[in-house]
Amino acid sequence: MHSRTVMVQHIELRRIEELVPYEKNPRTHSARQVDQIKASMKEFGFVVPILIDTHAGIVAGHGRLLAARKLGLTHVPVIVLDHLSEAQKRAYLLADNQLALNAGWDEDLLRVELEELKALDINIDLIGFDPGDLDRMLARGRGSCLVDEDDVPDAPRQVTSTRGDLWILGGHRLVCGDATDAGDVARLCGSAGERAQPLLLVTDPPYGIELDS
CA 93 to chain centre: 22
List of E strands, 110-182? 166-169, 172-175
Is residue 187 situated within a structural domain? yes
Residues 79 and 23 in one domain: yes
Q: In this structure, are residues 138 and 111 in contact, taking their beta carbons and an 8 Å threshold? A: yes
**pLDDT, tens digit (0-9, with 9 covering 90-100), for 169-183:** 877 888 888 888 888
Is residue 18 situated within a structural domain? yes
Q: In this structure, are residues 183 and 190 in contact, taking their beta carbons and an 8 Å threshold? A: no
List 96's β-bridge partners, or say none: none
Q: In this structure, are residues 16 and 76 in contact, taking their beta carbons and an 8 Å threshold? A: yes
- pLDDT tens sequence for the chain (213 residues): 556 899 989 999 999 999 999 999 999 999 999 999 999 999 999 999 999 999 999 999 999 999 999 999 999 999 999 999 999 999 999 999 999 899 999 988 999 999 999 899 999 999 998 888 888 888 876 655 555 666 777 777 777 788 888 888 877 888 888 888 888 888 888 766 666 666 666 666 666 666 665
pTM of the predicted protein model: 0.64
Residues 32 and 60 in one domain: yes
Is residue 51 situated within a structural domain? yes
Range of the domain at 175: 162-199
DSSP state of 124: G
The number of domains in the chain is: 3
Question: Which CATH number does the domain housing residue 39 bear?
Answer: 3.90.1530.10
Residues 74 and 115 in one domain: no
